[in-house]
Chains A and B, each alone.
Chain A
Amino acid sequence: MTLELVLFFILAVIAVTTAVGLLTSRSTIYAALHLVTNFVTVAIFYLLLDAPFIALAQVTVYAGAIMVLFLFVIMLLGIENIAGELEWKGLIWPVVMAVILLAEGIFLVVQRIGKNIYVESAGTELSNASTMAKYLFTDYLLPFEITSILLLVAMVGAIVLSKHEKPAKRGLEKTR
């Protein structure tokens, strides 16, 4: 347990540092890189919790696909630098929300003082991909399907937004 605890604190420091770096860096590229590091660190947290499937999915989906797309868009549009000063007035509501969230977190920690801090084998069942799939397609089928529809709607929306007015040409050949 002690080794895990040491690892946890090292990772926690990295995660918090990269999160703060994401918020404070003036360059969008650096912000994106901070976020990538943060995602990978969170994936290692999942590994520590005996949930390798979620850890690898986290790396594949967030660090590998979404953030590459982010970097691509940032580089394509050439918006490396964030213009203007931070507007503190606009931040009131987010700050209030963050404070409430933090209070909830602290409350949970205080409530657990003196109890066993380690969650009872959260991972062992979920580490098995087939067990997880079984849960996903039986007990949690409805939320799963609703999430799929949500993603589908977002995808259709993105296509509609990016579609040009002119009728699409058919086939692989575009010019000639």
Chain B
Amino acid sequence: MDWWLILEWLIKSIVLVLVLLTGFAYLTLFERRVLAFMQARIGPNRAGPQGILQPIADAVKLIFKEELTPGQVVKAIFVLAPIVTVVPAVVIAAVIPWGPTVEMFGRTINLSIADIDLGILYIAATASIAVYGIVLAGWSSNNKYAMLGGLRSSAQVISYELTLALCFVLVTLLTGSMRAMDIVEAQRTMWFFFIQPVGGLIFLVATLAEVNRAPFDMPEAEQELTAGYHSEYAGMKFALFFMAEYIKMIAISAIAAMLFFGGYREFPFLQNTWFSVDQNWWLGPLYMFAKVLVLLFFMVWIRATLPRMRYDRLMAFGWKVMLPLSLALVFISALGIMLQMLWIIPILSIAVGLVFVGFINRSLTMKRR
């Protein structure tokens, strides 16, 4: 048994978990400040300079809040549900590479926890079991609103998971491998977003639905369902749901960066300069951080911009638009790779995307005539 290997894994895991938890705390502040900025408000700026200590204040408040457990709940599952929600959100980050392979202390170190051959499939598997926590929370609360929230969430996640899986297929087709490291290195000369722009966009939309973010936050639509699946939760148990949502946002942004935006690689035109990851490995995590930050900003921006979708439209959009579109994209990518003409992929996929946009537009305006 190689004890150094176990030590290495242990250190990497602890660092990743700490980064994710700190990221969660400061993402809440980031979101509130950015939303405030977009709505011409100031936002939290009292605790510390520019409100930098606000997450700590929030954490202390949540820890000291009373743990209410309503009398009607199914106790065991009620307690288990927040944990089941948080665990997949954290472990999904295990295969994401945060930087290139590094020589350090006389060892070759991968800057991802597990560099497994089936990284993409691992992400798909973990994402698909992430919904259990929300469903069980909704059911065990023994509350109609919570139950409806859980039901909506499971229906939504099942529907958009198909699109997500087909986007994984797109990337796997372009790379020829399911290993996260290979995917990032395959984007050395060209990010997949430029080869498959429509695929990247529908991936971002599907991830929003998958993590229940606005405009797909039907499971917690406050006007209809109070707080949805976490109506009955208080104190730390509520904080765990909150944490799971934001950690999922970070993880899914990192996955999107890895699949379509070159992961830890630099811009393709900086390849042979000092800014390249090949020259300075420590730039890798920095690029990754920057990309994740941009994608998170994008998510917050969408939340500030778009109102919540109506539920029947959300399901119709998932099944009638996203799924056929992603199937068409898989077909186009396979065609382009088989004919060895990669340039037809972006052209054809943008054309198909525009056709779908036209159909949506038509179906939305048709009834008014």
Contacts and interface: CB of A to CB of B under 8 A. Distances in A.
Interface of A: 29, 33, 36, 40, 52-53, 56-57, 59-60, 63-65, 68-69, 71-72, 75-76, 127-130, 170-176
Nearest to B135: A71
User: Which residue, A33, A52, A72, has most C-beta atoms of chain B within 10 A?
Assistant: A72
B55 to A, nearest CB: 32
B158 interface: yes
A68 B158 contact: yes
A129 B155 contact: no
B315 to A, nearest CB: 10
A53 B139 CA distance: 32
A127 B363 CA distance: 46
A60 B154 contact: no
A69 B132 CA distance: 11
Contacts of A56: 118, 121-122, 124-125
A129 B168 CA distance: 14
Contacts of A59: 125, 128-129
A163 to B, nearest CB: 15
7 contacts: A52-B118, A63-B129, A64-B125, A64-B127, A171-B367, A172-B316, A172-B363
Contact of B128 (A63, A129, A173): A63
A173 B367 contact: yes
B201 to A, nearest CB: 18
User: Sorted from nearest, which 10 A-B pairs have the closest CB atoms?
Assistant: A64-B128, A171-B363, A59-B125, A172-B363, A56-B121, A60-B125, A56-B125, A72-B154, A172-B316, A64-B129
Contacts of B158: 65, 68-69, 72
B364 interface: yes
A24 B321 CA distance: 43
Contacts, number: 89
A65 B151 CA distance: 14
Contacts of B154: 68, 71-72, 75
A76 B129 contact: no
B118 A129 contact: yes
B2 interface: no
Interface string B147-163: 10011001101100100
Given A29-B139, A59-B129, A64-B128, A75 B150 contact: yes
A68 B135 CA distance: 9
Chain B interface, >50% SS class: helix
Interface in B128-143: 128-129, 131-132, 135-136, 138-139
Interface residues of B, number: 39
A173 B161 contact: no
Contacts of A173: 363-364, 366-367
A51 to B, nearest CB: 11
Given A64-B129, A65-B161, A68-B131, A172 B151 contact: no
Given A64-B127, A75-B150, 15 more contacts: A56-B118, A60-B124, A60-B125, A60-B128, A65-B161, A68-B135, A75-B154, A127-B117, A130-B176, A170-B366, A171-B367, A172-B313, A172-B320, A172-B360, A176-B367
Contacts of B127: 64
Given A56-B118, A172-B317, A172-B360, A75 B151 contact: yes
A63 B127 CA distance: 11
A57 B132 CA distance: 17
B228 to A, nearest CB: 14
Contacts of B103: none
Contacts of B124: 56, 60, 64
A68 B122 contact: no
A75 B147 contact: yes
A76 B152 CA distance: 10
Contacts of A176: 367
Contacts of A60: 121, 124-125, 128
Contacts of A33: 77, 136
B312 interface: yes
B366 A171 contact: yes
User: Which residue, A29, A64, A72, A75, has most C-beta atoms of chain B within 10 A?
Assistant: A64
B147 A52 contact: no
A174 B150 CA distance: 24
A72 B147 CA distance: 10
B116 interface: yes
A129 B367 contact: no
Contacts of A64: 124-125, 127-129, 161
B184 interface: no
Given A29-B139, A65-B128, A172-B320, A129 B364 contact: no
Nearest to B178: A129
Contacts of B178: 129
Contact of A172 (B121, B150, B364): B364
B362 interface: yes
